[in-house]
Amino acid sequence: MIDVAVVGYGNVGRCAVQAVQAAPDLHLAGVVLHREGQIPPELEGCQVEPQIDRLSHRPQVVLLCVPSRSAPGLAQVYLAQGFCTVDSFDIHPQIWETRCQLDGVAKAHGVAAVLSAGWDPGTDSVVRTLMEVCAPRGITYTDFGPGMSMGHTVAAKKTPGVADALSLTVPMGTGLHRRVVYVQLAPGYSHQEVSRAILADPYFAGDETRVVAVEDVRQLLDMGHGVHMTRKGVSGITHNQNLAFSMSINNPALTAQVMVGAARAALQLAPGCYTLPEVPMTSLLPGTLKEKISRLV
């Protein structure tokens, strides 16, 4: 059994606990909540500590279920203590740089880090790579949604006059997206002025954006999300090779499940930091290689 700790207990952390408990080969060493507070009732039988060294079973792998901005720093702290780490860091432009930083720390402490092990970045990245292997010349489009964008929702919530908000990502095809921002207006603000403020936010400038006023944003919340990826390209000199991948999924549940797979991989990898397309897919599943190859290849 692999001993795993879950750090953080938001949507992804909750699903990570469930996925660890559902896995045949993993044992939940405990949950680390850096901020002390009331322990959720479903964690009753589980050790919850503010610091990892208080857990009675020392975990081999730590799942960092924390906001992306905190993940790289926290990964370095845990790697330096000799734990393997897995995160779902999703700030795409910073992935390479973060990988280099974590790679150094991981190697110095003889452990492995799996970086950006969610679905995008994560399993989608593997599919994008695989599609390019199949048809090296061509264009891949990644169309997200419909589903909630965490980043855009946070940006919308910060707009003056917004009591609550939800930003939905709607796929328009060929990698273009519409943002539909559902806002609950604060008293004294009009839909028009709030809408103008959101449209002026650089966060929304690149995409077509609609702002819709609603009575209660909470009634719209749904963790469902999806992606549709397509590539049309050339294999050798043969054109019109068409590939597609799509998912309709519960977002935090999938993210957590991929992280659980990456926990297995982390223990099999040489010290260093890896993104998912650098990791053999078989290493993310339990079972013997014979069984996996016989069943899946």
Residues lying near a second copy in the complex (CB under 8 A) are found at 15-16, 18-19, 22-23, 92, 95-96, 99, 116, 119, 121, 123, 125-130, 132-137, 234-238, 240-250, 253-254, 256-258, 260-261, 275-282, 284-285, 289-290, 292-294, 296-297
Left (φ > 0), alpha (ψ -120 to 50) or beta: where does 125 sit? alpha
Nearer to a second copy, 119 or 204 (CB): 119
Q: Tell me the closest approach of the beta carbon of residue 260 to a second copy, in angstroms.
A: 8
How many residues are there in the chain?
297
Distance CA 101, CA 85 (A): 13
Q: Which is nearer to a second copy, 221 or 296 (CB)?
A: 296
Question: Cβ 232 to a second copy, closest distance in Å?
Answer: 10
Q: Which is nearer to a second copy, 68 or 116 (CB)?
A: 116
What CA–CA distance (Å, rounded) separates 89 from 43?
A: 25
CB closer to a second copy, 140 vs 184: 140
Q: Where are the beta strands (DSSP E) in the chain?
A: 2-7, 26-32, 48-49, 61-64, 84-87, 112-115, 137-144, 147-148, 162-173, 176-185, 208-213, 224-235, 238-250, 272-275
- Residue with smaller CB distance to a second copy, 76 or 257: 257
CA pair distance 92, 141, nearest whole angstrom: 16
> Residue 122 Cβ, how far from a second copy at the closest point, in Å?
8
| Least distance from a second copy to the Cβ atom of residue 150, Å | 18
In the complex, minimum distance from the CB of residue 161 to a second copy, in angstroms, rounded to a whole number: 35
C-alpha gyration radius of the chain: 21
Q: Least distance (Å) from a second copy to the CB of residue 99?
A: 7
Is the bond preceding 72 in cis, omega lying within 30 degrees of 0? no
Question: What is the signed CA dihedral for 269, 270, 271, 276, rounded to 10 degrees?
Answer: -40
Dihedral angle sign, alpha carbons of residues 130, 134, 139, 145: negative
Q: Which is nearer to a second copy, 154 or 234 (CB)?
A: 234
